Amino acid sequence: MRKRRSKKEKIFTVPIQFYVTPKQKEKLDRAAEKADITLSECLRRMIDKLKIVELPPMDFPKLIVELRKIGTNLNQIARALNAKNYFIPDELTAAIDGLNETENKIYEAFTPGKGA
Q: What is the pTM for the complete model shown?
A: 0.46
What is the distance between the alpha carbons of residues 87 and 100, in angstroms, rounded to a whole number? 21
- How many structural domains does the chain have? 2
Question: Do residue 31 and residue 74 come from a single domain?
Answer: no
Domain assignment of residue 10, yes or no:
no
What is the distance between the alpha carbons of residues 53 and 33, in angstroms, rounded to a whole number? 10
What is the distance between the alpha carbons of residues 3 and 77, in angstroms, rounded to a whole number? 52
Q: Is pLDDT above 90 for 19? A: yes
Domain assignment of residue 5, yes or no:
no
pLDDT digits (tens, 9 = 90+) for 48-72: 888 787 777 777 778 888 888 888 8
Domain assignment of residue 116, yes or no:
no
Gyration radius of the chain's alpha carbons: 22
Question: Do residue 106 and residue 62 come from a single domain?
Answer: yes
Q: Is pLDDT above 90 for 24? A: yes
Domain assignment of residue 79, yes or no:
yes
Domain that holds residue 88: 56-111
